[in-house]
Amino acid sequence: MNYISIKMGDRKITRLIDKVHDIVNRSRRKKRTGWILKHTTLKKCVFSIILISVLLIIMYWKRINTPYLAHFIQKSTRPEPNIRCGLMNGPRILKSHGHKTEAQLRSYPKVLVFVETAFSKLGRDIAELLVHTRIKYKVEVAGKSLPVLTNLDKGRYGVIIFENFSKYLEMDNWNRELLDKYCREYLVGVIGFIPPHEETYVGSQLKGFPLFIHTNLRLKDAALNPASQILRLTRAGETAWGDLPGNDWTVFQANHSTYEPLEWAHKNDFFQPTEGEIRTPLPTVLQDHGLFDNIQRVIFGSGLKFWLHRLLFLDSLSYLSHGQLSLSLDRMFLVDIDDIFVGEIGTRLKADDVRALIDTQSRIQAMVPGFKFNLGFSGKYFHHGNSEEDEGDDVILENIDKFMWFSHMWNHLQPHLYDNLTLLMEDMTLNKNFAKIKGIPVDSGYSVAPHHSGVYPVHELLYTAWKKVWNIRVTSTEEYPHLRPARLRRGFIHRNIMVLPRQTCGLFTHTMLIDKYPGGRIKLDESIQGGELFQTIVYNPINIFMTHMSNYGNDRLGLYTFESVIKFIRCWTNIHLTSAPPLQIAETYFKLYPGEVDPVWGNPCLDARHQKIWSKNKSCDSLPKFLVIGPQKTGTTALYTFLSLHPAIASNTPSTDTFEEIQFFNAHNYLRGLDWYMHFFPVDVNSTTKYYFEKSATYFDGELVPKRVHALLPHAKLITILISPAKRAYSWYQHIKAHGDASANNYTFHQVITAIDTAPKSLRDLRNRCLNPGKYAQHLERWLTYFAPQSLHIIDGEVLKSNPVEVMNELQKFLKITPFLNYTEHLRFDSKKGFYCQVKNDRPKCLGRSKGRHYPPMDDKSQKFLQRYYVSHNTALVKLMKRIGIRSVPNWLKDDLSDNTT
């Protein structure tokens, strides 16, 4: 029984075990099958992802119209304007408000800047800001003595600036009392900057003032005092959030009612305020109302690195000068979009970009009355994109009336590459015909040359073609007088075409994507929010910005930049922005700056950028290396003749109007341009000439001549001939009389030189031409303002006449001319003429009949009058000659200064 029972139990166990095995095997099979199924599904998923990715890439590169995808891609990168400002649309101060007071001002609108050294950083920043805003100034290194502060009954300066306020506090008693007396008497204010300190001061008192300072602080979150009378350009009410630049700030603690904070900030430390704790703001800029010592001041606790301080500095100048140094609050604003149809596929505008352009323009118009984007077109490149970009071109033309328009070149070729006027005009005509066909306006009177070519340095063919084809009256360029520094860009008028200075906004053809912008969005925002772009608009009353078509597609950085900076300006300033067509802007510009009407021609050979946009047919070698500058009737024609005998020297070709003289730098000829001047110096590649020169005796006393000469020929050598100014005056009178001048024939020499200011104009003009050139020291000082003394060679005219060989030998050494010419073989004295002449065919060949003419001697009365008249000028000449290293005083000068006037 038991055995059977056991057997029965074994079978049950065996069956049970078999069942377990079956279950396990089935489970394994299911797992294996599931794994296979899962693996297969995973493969399918990976394959699908790869396939979708490939399709997306293909769709992107093929520009398949997928608006949702495009929106998704661009949403994460394209910046949008994010200027938040509660004051943006609030009331603004009246434009006429300019800090003017009832005070009777007795000082000139000029600034005196005391710097620590000629190279100190803050001093340079101050000077650059004054240059940018066209405020006149003088820089003095703070020392033991003060410069002259008054001129007769007027003060020379309206505001005094100390780069280091400590230099003011530590002045010796004599100079401090003198300066303070000047400030009180002439109502002159002081601006001072507290410099960084190596040592940290806590509650240190400023010498002589109830004012204490804490130094070397890190600050954040600056705000302005909205009640301050100083604020005019600057607008209070918002906070400049974030860290302030530097860790060397000074803050103030006052102990007198004369002091009022103009700006506050908070200490920047790691400790957060506890709940309910109120942190007191720290004064960083302080106004001194003058209640303590009757002198008004503004003291800055840091330099100009913080953008807000630049605005406050300008407002302080305006306030302390009683409105004499106020900037206008009006700004004109134009944005050119160059090359609206020019660009590689993938960089051009699509239809959505054009619509975004129009939408942004509408928003800007609400802030800038009259604003329209100004589109420049080269018709040849219309419909040169893909299908989407060509559609963008079409949408532009569907909205022609929403924009302003200006002409580029048809084929975008640089104008200076054209040497044929007909071909240049044909190119312009193609563009004009394209405009007429498409309905683009052709009467704006404004054009821009590709890459600024031909505008400056001037290519005369461009100006001629512009006039003939487009009737251009206005253009613009970044290149006058040079690209950098931008603060020095100016305007000029040439051939009745007004040339305006153009500004950049930090965007160029290649800056299309925010991720690719140098420094990224942070750097661009710095320029917009108080940086370079913001300051450009603040400093310049007229702003024409150059941008490119590619800045308005892709990430639309152009739209972002201008909408953002306009909002920031409205938030932080009381500036009134407007826009207008270029012609109206140009007329406004030259009303503001009439002194810029005449250009100053620079030397294209000294600027790499200018050389690139200068015709290759023009040679740097054709510009003269030295000038004979006069004055008249001192022997300049004789010197001209002697110089021309040298085989390595060549003068200009003669002029039909002024003979051997060009008279370029001092006459209307200057406005004819550089091409006109250079055609008098034709370059012959086979010539042995090494030194070109020109002689124009009228250059010597021309008021604008030294500046103009230095701009074009900064390394030129200058040669002048001096004789007794009395003798020169008499010689000029006799010369003009011999040529039939009515005044000279109707009046004696004595009547001419003693003519009073109520005399007839013709008589006064003759008097001035006789007397003024003889004020040698005055004119030489003007030349030495631009040229070093080593560039000037003074010839004694009496020695030139009596011993020209000696003079020419010295002159060759001064000019470092080779080969050295022995003038004894080329000059010979002519007893009939009474002077030396050149030798030709072994005989003297003298100048014409008008040279060496014998006049009756000057009457004693005139001689004594002129000796008295020129005594101060001759004394100044002796001092000048000694100062520049000329030890030997000419005999005629000794004689003129001798005491025989009684």
Paired residues of 827 in beta bridges: 838
- Give the whole-angstrom CA distance, residue 37 versus residue 18: 28
Q: Is 305 a catalytic residue?
A: no
Inter-axis angle of helices 776-786 and 705-712, nearest 10: 30
DSSP state of 274: P
Length, in residues, of the chain? 902
The answer to whether 639 and 795 have CB atoms below 8 angstroms apart is yes
Residues 693/627, Cβ–Cβ less than 8 Å: yes
Q: Reduce the DSSP state of residue 54 to 3 states and report it.
A: helix
Residue type, position 549, single letter: M
**Is 355 within 8 Å of 317 (Cβ atoms)?**
no
The pair of structure tokens assigned to 546 is: 């150059």
DSSP 416-481: GG---HHHHHHHHHHHHHHHHHHT------BB--GGGTTTTTT-HHHHHHIIIII---EEEES-SS
Listed residue (149, 81, 85) closest to 112, CA to CA: 149
Coarse DSSP helix, strand, coil percentages of the chain, rounded to the nearest 5 percent:
40, 15, 40
Rounded CA separation 759/762 (Å): 8
What gap in Å lies between CA 60 and CA 156, rounded to an integer?
Answer: 68
76 is in an annotated binding site: no
- The greatest distance separating any two alpha carbons of the chain, rounded to the nearest whole angstrom, comes to 177
Amino acid sitting at position 639: L
Is 256 known as a binding-site position?
no
Distance in angstroms (rounded) separating the CA atoms of residues 445 and 443: 6
Say if residue 851 carries a ligand binding annotation.
Answer: yes
* Torsion angle in degrees (nearest 10) through CA of 445, 454, 666, 684: -150
Among the listed residues 567, 633, 737, 775, the single catalytic one is 633
> Is 855 marked as a binding-site residue?
yes
The answer to whether the beta carbons of residues 701 and 631 sit under 8 Å apart is: yes
Answer yes or no: is 640 a known binding residue.
no
Residue 619 marked in a binding site: no
29 is in an annotated binding site: no
What's phi and psi for 628, nearest 5 deg? -95, 110
Beta bridge pairs of residue 427 = none
- Which helix (H) or strand (E) segment holds residue 360: the answer is helix 351-367
Residue positions in the annotated binding site for 3'-phosphoadenylyl sulfate?
Answer: 731, 836, 851-855
Residue positions in the annotated binding site?
Answer: 731, 836, 851-855
The catalytic residues are: 633
